[in-house]
Amino acid sequence: MAVVVDTETAPPRERFDLWTEASLQVFEPIAVELRDERQRRADPPFAARLLRYELGPVTLYRMWSDASLVRRTLPLIRADDPELIHCMVLTRGRCAVAQEDRSDVAGPNELISWQSSAPFEIESLTSFDGVIVEVPSLLMGAHVDRVCRRTAQCIDGEAGMGKLVRHYFVELQAGLEDGTLAENDPQVAESVVDLVRTIYLRPSTVGAQVSTADMLRTQIKAFIDANLTDPALSPEAIARRHYISRSYLDKLFAAEGTSVWESIKAKRLDRCRRDLLDPAMDGESIFEIALRWGFVSAPHFSRAFRATYGVSPRDFRATFRAPS
């Protein structure tokens, strides 16, 4: 658990500025405002606190805050869009959420959501307390458009699936806070994603679902294939791009008995092998081929190729290439 921000650590007149700065560092680009500038001089002063828990590709927050206004506009979306869906369970207070042509007001024990790829406005009409789950949109799979079309609409947390999801999110946060549940648990993350996916879909349309881990692993493999030529491709860059921790990325690939880096290297070597066998590549040197597929050191490439194929790249090209 990380306490991202607690405004009580700042002087009264600086507390909202601290909250604004922390919000910009934690969430996608947003504009945070006071509903009334008189709040800056209010007694007691503005108060807010944010806790964050990492669950692999999913992030869970516990937020307490006095009333404020949050906006995400098209220019802010163009500046950066992490493509996230946020689902909030309110335990106290009232919040109005508007996105696209939808708007609703959530109260205690209700759920409401918004997504980062379209403009939204969130106005906390009172001080509030809630649990927010942040899920990458890609984990909604083929259902992402349907889920996004149901943002800014309240779901009753006192009955049916809404009640189950509300209890799960609140109890999950409590377990993370008191240490009875561990962070970075892929099974917990998968259950969160499944609940978010399910609550926004009719049960009859959900059908058999690929696991969250499998879906994310497939997405990452496609990303690796599309970026093999980039020398900067690395496990750290992949983790950042997919909004997961490096440790969770390692767990995804460990399930297949390999590592992220070994997977990248194997794919690059295979592309080099194919080019070395291609007569159309006769005009390119061995190192030019290696450079094209992300290798930056000729000795390193030669050692890696020999370790994999049992022969040097030069001998491989001379011995095994099909005649032109």
| Rounded-to-5 percentages of helix, strand, coil across the chain | 50, 20, 30
Q: Which pLDDT tens digits describe the chain residue by residue (324 residues)?
A: 577 889 999 998 889 999 999 998 899 999 999 876 666 666 678 899 999 999 888 999 999 999 999 999 999 999 999 999 999 999 999 999 999 989 999 999 999 999 999 999 999 989 999 999 999 998 887 788 888 999 999 999 988 888 889 999 999 999 998 888 888 777 788 889 888 888 887 543 333 445 567 777 887 888 898 889 999 999 999 988 877 788 888 888 887 788 999 999 999 998 999 889 888 888 899 999 999 999 999 999 999 999 998 899 999 888 866 554
* Entry pTM: 0.66
36 shares its domain with 123 = yes
At residue 37, the pLDDT reads 67
Q: For the purposes of burial, counting CB atoms within 10 Å of the CB of 179, is it exposed (0-12), middle (13-18) or buried (19 or more)?
A: exposed
At residue 324, the pLDDT reads 47
Beta strands across the sheet bearing 120-124:
31-33, 69-72, 120-124, 95-99, 102-106
Shared domain for 292 and 181, answered yes or no, is no
pLDDT of res. 165: 92
For residue 131, what pLDDT is reported?
97
| 9 and 151 part of one domain | yes
pLDDT of residue 204: 36
- What pLDDT score does 186 carry? 72
Looking at the structure, tell me whether residues 200 and 306 fall in a common domain.
no
Peptide bond into 29 cis (omega under 30): no
Q: Are residues 225 and 256 in the same domain?
A: yes
Query: Looking at the structure, do residues 226 and 200 belong to the same domain, yes or no?
Result: no
Predicted confidence at residue 323, as pLDDT, reads: 52
Q: Are residues 96 and 170 in the same domain?
A: yes
What CATH number has the domain bearing residue 287?
1.10.10.60
Token pair 């083929």 in the structure block, residue: 142
Same domain, 218 and 139: no
Residue 177's CATH number: 2.60.120.10
Q: What is residue 323's DSSP assignment?
A: P
The span from the CA of 259 to the CA of 28, in Å, is 30
Query: What pLDDT, on the 0 to 100 scale, is given for residue 206?
Result: 37
Triad 167, 2, 132: Cα angle to 5°: 35
DSSP 24-89: HHHSSS-EEE-SSGGGGG-SSPP-EEEEEEEETTEEEEEEEE-S-EEEE-HHHHHH----EEEEEE
Of 191, 206, 221, the domain-final residue: 206
- Which of 177, 206, 235 terminates a domain? The answer is 206
Mark which of 206, 240, 265 sits at the end of a domain. Answer: 206
Q: Tell me: do 55 and 188 sit in the same domain.
A: yes
In terms of Cα–Cα distance, which of 129, 155, 121, 130 is closest to 60? 130
Q: Which residues of 45-82 are buried (b: 16+ CB within 10 A; e: fewer)?
A: bbbbbbbbbbbbbbbbbbbbbbbbbbebeeebbeeebe
The pLDDT of residue 101 is: 87
Instruction: Please indicate, yes or no, whether residues 154 and 230 belong to a single structural domain of this protein.
Output: no
The residue assigned the tokens 């995804």 is 252
Rounded Cα–Cα distance for residues 129 and 94 (Å): 9
Domain hosting 73: range is 2-206
**Same domain, residue pair 142 and 123:** yes
- The whole-angstrom separation of Cα 146 and Cα 1 is 32
Domain count, the chain: 2
Instruction: Scan for tokens 């450079």, then name that residue.
Output: 291
- For the chain, give me the number of helices (H) and strands (E)? 13, 12
